Structure 1
Amino acid sequence: MDSPFPLALLLFLFLFLFLSPAPSFSIDNLHQAIVESFRIAIEEQRHTVYLCYGHCQTTALYLLECCVDIRRFNAVFPIVEPDPGHTKLQLSREGLEAIKRITNPIAAVAVIGPYRSGKSFLLNQLLSLSCYEGFGVGHMRDTKTKGIWVWGTPIDLDINGVRTSVFYLDTEGFESVGKSNVYDDRIFALATVLSSVLIYNLPETIREADISRLSFAVELAEEFYGRVKGQDVAFEPAKLLWLIQRDFLQGKSVQEMVNEALKQVPNTEGNKNIDVVNQIRESLSVMGDNSTAFSLPQPHIQRTKLCDMKDGELDQLYVKRRDQLKELVASIISPKIVQGKTLNGKEFVSFLEQILEALNKGEIPSTGSLVEVFNKNILERCLKLYSEKMTKLILPLPEEILQGAHDKSRGEVMQVFDQQHFGRHHAKKSVLQLDEEIQQVYKHVVLQNEYQSSKLCEGLYTRCEDQMDQLQVLKLPSLAKFNAGFLQCNRSFERECVGPSKTNYEQRMMKMLGKSRSLFIKEYNHRLFNWLVAFSLVMVVIGRFFIKFILIEIGAWALFIFLETYTRMFWSAEALYYNPVWHFIVATWETVVYSPVLDLDRWAIPLAVILSLFILYWRCYGRKKYGSQWLLPLYRSNKSGPNRPRSD
């Protein structure tokens, strides 16, 4: 039989957990309630407990784990602490764990202001916590809060249909003893960037120093918020809430007091400090749509006993205004948005780490360092875009074309960066960084272009060199063929060799071609002379014994005698090369050996074979069929004829 015990126990616990007001019970009371419920159930239905022991044990353990988890984070934790020198900030992992566990979008309410101005007490009032449960409240001269602290259990709100976890941040007060102004600036800068609502808690009135403190907020507004409509901002600006804790406003509303404090101060003497503050006043007036003023009276005249007082003992006007302040904060708060998206716990912590690293980078915190953080991803995207454009180029290219492609791609990328980057005044460093990295990529492309150009031109040079070597050893030496090969090689090199290596290889090419041409001409006459001597003797044999054409034989003998006699007469073959007859012979040779129609060097062997076959055919079959028909009469001897006279 099923027992109602587990269901009743769970129903009791969940009603107790979720229907009870958050501040009306403590963790100890919750534990006592769980123990008491188990005791009553055991007394009344022991047999049911035994039947459902396993199920109840599992459920109870789960609930106890949840309670332990709630108890663990139901406290204040430091998220940022000062370094030993109290000049820079460092992360505190204990507090970050409380934030990391949140999966909902996160919003933060930060309270800033002078030390001992009641910031921690104000936060406890907004969270409905006592001084002993929430943020530590100190009445001594030294500041109680060091760095930035967070209440570990966020308040969940429904903001425009989005369930949002709201954290409350307490910051170390300004102008406390033993700290530098730079440290105060870092605290203020970090609170300004992290928060969705920034409560500027000021006692009694707004001083000029309080306005000067907002210079960083003004710089952030000028750097990040003044973007083109429709584009994502780096992060949504925090709503600035001027909170004036004062009983009497002398007939003025708190908004009128703020507006009056932000009026320009006459500066007839040209004081630079007044000019700076006036510029801040002007910028804050422009940010008027993003700021709200609120007054809060003193909770009680005996401030040292505030932690021991309940709401009934506090000034009722204060209680009323405090509740109105809670409603105001809830109405203006929104999830933290960074570059167009909300942040969960882990993303918020990562964002905090980036901001803290940027603020600690220099001797003083600057918006410029924050600009670098937000422009980092944009810079990487633009650099990738430039690399993709340059990768599409087919290398090698002439230097002027490559430079033109670089200038065009760089211009397009810079235009994209100008449209998307964050920062109006401090983006110059990011622009310089992008340009520097583009130049690094371009240098790499230039090196690739030089390598590809050298590789291509080297291949063309080697091919021409091999071609010149082949022309040096032609079977039938031909200056016309050498010149044709020379021009073809030179033209192909000029056409195909491109890039920065072309000039260098052009010089090498001209030297190589010049040497090849000189060597060919030097050997050409000598080889042609030997070839013509051999050719004349061959033609003598062919004309006398094969073709039996006396004109061929006579011409061959004439050529042979001329070549041999001339060289013997002048003791040198070089003298022959200047003779007009030699020039005529060379011209005739070049016409026969090489022309656009026939390259005899290539077809010499096939033609010789065909001619030999033709002569052989004629000798064997042609004379039998057609008879011997010589062009000139042959000499016939009568010694062996029938009419030969007898010798005796």
Structure 2
Amino acid sequence: MDSSIRMKAPLCLIENSPEEKLRVNPDALKILSAITQPVVVVAIVGLYRTGKSYLMNKLVGVQNGFALGNTVQSMTKGIWMWCIPHPTKKDHTLVLLDTEGLGDVEKGDSKNDIQIFSLAVLLSSTLVYNSLGTINQDAIEKLQFVKQITELIKVKSEENDDEEAELSRHFPTFIWAVRDFSLKLELEGEAITEDEYLENALKPKYPEKTLKIQDMNQRKNCLRMYFRARKCFTFERPSAEVSVLQNMETVTDKQLNPRFVRQSEAFCRYIYNEAGVKCLDEIHPITGKYLGSLAKTYTETINSSNMVCMENAVMSVSEIENKAAVKEAAQHYEDKIKERVDFPTETMETFMELSGQCEKEALQMFMKKSFKDKDQLFQKELAEILQEKKKEFLKTNEAESRNRCEALIKKLAGDFEKALEQGTYTVPGGHQTFADEMKRIEDEYNKEPNKGVQEKQVLQEYLKSKEVIGVTILQSDNVLTEKEKELEAEKTKMKAEDMERKVKEEMESQVKQKNEAEIRTIHENLQQLMEKMEKESMLRKMQLERIISEKSREQNQYMNQSLTRHADMYQAQIDDLLEEKSRLQGPSWYTPIVDTLKRVAAEIIPGALQVGGEFLSQMVSGYSEKLSKTNVKETSKKK
């Protein structure tokens, strides 16, 4: 999103109709589709009439934006969106989502609440849960939607034995905002932080003597399981004056409790500095365009009463975006060739070098925009398209060269052709004059620059076209003896053979230059793909390390409470994560990629792959050695 673009007011993203059907607003999608920057998505959920919209307005820096309301009636319906340039992250956009209040008595049942809550979880990178008073049993009971979320959301399409653990890898950071908080932050006489207050409140109670305690422990465990990264903010009551509370849209900070103002500022600073970018598949930052596609996919799935599969939604978005990436990259290649290549090029090498530069840029563009390109199907599609476009431009290059060369010969041989028609050379001594004219045409032709890749071939064709006429003129020239005629004929034959040899060598050279360029193309495809996958592998390892650290924290808390059953469950998850991480250490992650790309190259450029096969093998070995050294360094650092 350009820094000069800013929504003047919020807009409904997902409308909640009276028939309890959710619908994505096309106008909101248009705004999101124009945002090409990574987005930080902060959604707020909570019971209605708890001041959610006020916090969202503070993040925008306005008093009046998201509707606050001053009655017992819920003001926000559906999910409202406000996109602004990110206050602290350059070239990022902050997307704020204010959701319809949960527990609205006017709605009658909680099905719609679960849907709104689920959409907030699916779309956000940071989820703020807003509640009043304290984090007690009643507050946790009201957060029933976390327990029910698996009714609507799953991560993978196939059956998964540990769906809860998978969900925890994809859920947003969780912030509990406790409003009108009046307690001292103390535990057993010792001062504690807001985060410690939250963690203590989420500790399960044992022994589980009653079903109510079991149910409460399950809710707490769900919160801890799904939301690995958690944060807490407490806010005192904004004012003791009822009239101030009823007019929060118009009062100034000076009219509010100073501590409440400071707490609100601390909350905003945290969101600005710590709230992360929304990612797909854990590591791929998304733009507004992606976010809009996800919002549409998730909403339509929920409306159809089907379970939202995050993997399917991501694959659906990736297919759309990968197609767009192929189209954009192919167009870039075509545009840049037309811009940079002055047809005809002097040599084949010149064209192939320029084409290689354009291909490299097109590939970089594709790599930047594509993601989850399974089996490199879209990269293969791009390679095929570029190969076809290159062939067309090669034909254009040859045609332009041929046209220029033929026009030049026509110009140089104009008088000569007229003389032939008039029989000027069929006279005694005419053969020498004929030979001199042919040499003149050839010399002047060779002096002319910028004839292109068909230079020798067109000249050879012209000279060959005059061979029969030359023989006729030679045989009819009475000035020459039979011996001289034989010598001239032999000389002409040798020259023709020499010319034919040169043309053949030139054509072979051009084929070689094409093959060498195609090898460089395969090399570039492999190199860029390997670099991208290596970067993604490193990001995945970092992400896994964060998750392992967070899981270990949870495990330690259970161990400190002597809850071995829960601790063992987390250990099993940690073991799975460590195994996944180890797979990213060796060649197993890139070997299938290399094999796939070789198959693609064999289909598109058969000859080039055979010529460059050894070179590519050396390249792959080089990557293997590089990654091996990197992994050794990482292991040494940890020791």
> Is the pair's TM-score, using the shorter chain for normalization, greater than 0.5?
no
Higher relative contact order (CA 8 A, sep 6+): 2
Normalising to structure 1: TM-score of the pair? 0.42
Rg larger in structure: 1
Normalising to structure 2: TM-score of the pair? 0.43
